[in-house]
Every structure is written in structure tokens, then in C-alpha cells.
Amino acid sequence: MDYLPCEMVETSDNISAAVIWLHGLGASGHDFVPIIPRLTIPEALGIRFIFPHAPPLPVTINNGVVMPAWYDIYAMDMERKIDTPQIMASAQAIKNLIEREMENGIASDNIVLAGFSQGGAVAFEAGLSFDKPLAGLMSLSSYFATYKTIQLHPANKTIPIHIFQGTHDEIVTEPLAKLAEAELIKQNYAPEYKSYPMGHEVHYQEIEDISHWLQQVLT
């Protein structure tokens, strides 16, 4: 099977958990690698951080310029108009990475999906439709692009979900993140939500909170 190319960082010689972390539009798997030392993850948790690279795609809202993208975006309206088959294909590619970690001895309920912006939308689609229980789902400055079409799987009906959002974000506005929270609650999920005085970025306090949450769901 062909897998997405990935950057990997391991916090221990004895790996028992994995975090698959998706970057945003136009970025790469290198983007969040520098954050890992700042998370100060205890070595005993033995986490493998996996940062896949999105394939190059023409992006309509950027005048068709080809760039790393998980899916095409046709319009930047409130709920976005996107290429649904592409986001589903990206979600399947992430599920393949989950399966690979499981084949390498990591239990599914020791695997977290995380994503920033576009990556978070793919994480929602992949995680909530995956057929084995996962440890958690983390959305960073993102939105639930496929809430109207997703085929939810009962295996992850009680998955811990945390939404992190900037109050000054002009790319993925807070109402979009709040819509994700509301739609999840409608489906009987129990997402945690925290916002920060930031734009479309990562806040220093957010890094501390991500570390705390990861340690909570992977302990």
C-alpha cells in the first residue's frame, strides 16, 4: 500500500502511542515538528508523532495555484464549499496511517488524530468515521466540514474531542469552530472547547493545554 510521506518524532525508545497531526492549507508536515519539544511530553508515555504531508492540489480560492492541500475549497463562505470526494480520499489516507500504526503494535485507543485548519477538517472526517476506538481527536483553528455528509461510526461515539480556537481568527472564524461544537453536541458527543486571543496561529498557552490534554487521553 502507498502511504502519505510523513515526518516522525519519537519521544521515547519504547513507543506505545501515536499522534497523527495534520497541517493546514499550503503548509507541510514540517510545520508542527518544532512544537514537540515545547510540549514537554513525559518519556514514559512513549509517543510517536506523525506529521503527514498533503499532496499538491490546485486550490480554487487561491486562483487555482497548486499547493499542498487536503482538498479543494471552492468558496470561503460561512460553511465553506469544498471538494467532498477529495476530503474523503484524504481521510482514507489518514485511516491507512492509523492502520499502519496498529500493524506496528500500537492499540487504536492509544492513537490521537489532530489537525490544524484544513487538517482538522480531515481529522474530524477520519476520526469520527473510523471503525475502531481512538484515544482522542484534536481540532486546532478548524471546522467540521463534513458534518452534513459524514457516516459516523459507533466505535468512536465517546471519543474525547478538544476544539482549540482563536477569537481573532479571520481565516477560520470562531463561529465556524462554534458550529463544529454545536453539531458535535447534536450528535451526542461531548467536545471540550477553549479559545485564545489569537489569529490563525498557535498560542503559547494553547501549547501547554495541548500537552495537558494529550497526557490526559494517552495515560
Question: CA 8 to CA 5: how far, in whole Å?
Answer: 10
Q: What pLDDT digit, counting tens, does each position of 59-80 carry?
A: 999 999 999 999 999 987 766 7
Closest CA to 125 of 133, 135, 113: 113
Whether pTM exceeds 0.85: yes
Q: What pLDDT digit, counting tens, does each position of 101-122 carry?
A: 999 999 999 999 999 999 999 9
Residues 6+ apart with CB under 8 A from 200: 117, 141, 166, 169, 170, 171, 172
pLDDT at residue 58 is higher than 70: yes
Residues 90, 108, 117, 139: which is the catalytic one? 117
Closest CA to 130 of 165, 101, 105, 172: 101
Q: Is 192 helix (H, G, I), strand (E, B) or coil?
A: strand
When pLDDT is averaged across residues 47-70 and rounded to a whole number, the result is 97
Q: Is residue 162 among the annotated active site residues? A: no
Q: Is residue 153 among the annotated active site residues? A: no
**What pLDDT is stored for residue 78 in this prediction?**
61
133 and 155 Cβ atoms separated by less than 8 Å:
yes
Q: Cα–Cα–Cα angle for 89, 91, 93, nearest 5°?
A: 70
147 and 180 Cβ atoms separated by less than 8 Å:
yes
**What pLDDT is stored for residue 118 in this prediction?**
97
Residues 53, 153, 200, 203: which is the catalytic one? 200
Q: Is 6-217 in CATH node 3.40.50.1820?
A: yes
Residue 76: all three cell numbers together: 470561503
When pLDDT is averaged across residues 33-52 and rounded to a whole number, the result is 96
Residue 122: all three cell numbers together: 480531515
180 and 143 Cβ atoms separated by less than 8 Å:
yes
Q: How many CB atoms lie within 10 A of CB 37?
A: 10
Q: Is 148 helix (H, G, I), strand (E, B) or coil?
A: coil
Mean pLDDT of the chain: 96
Give the chain's end-to-end CA distance (angstroms, integer): 31
Q: Is residue 168 among the annotated active site residues? A: no
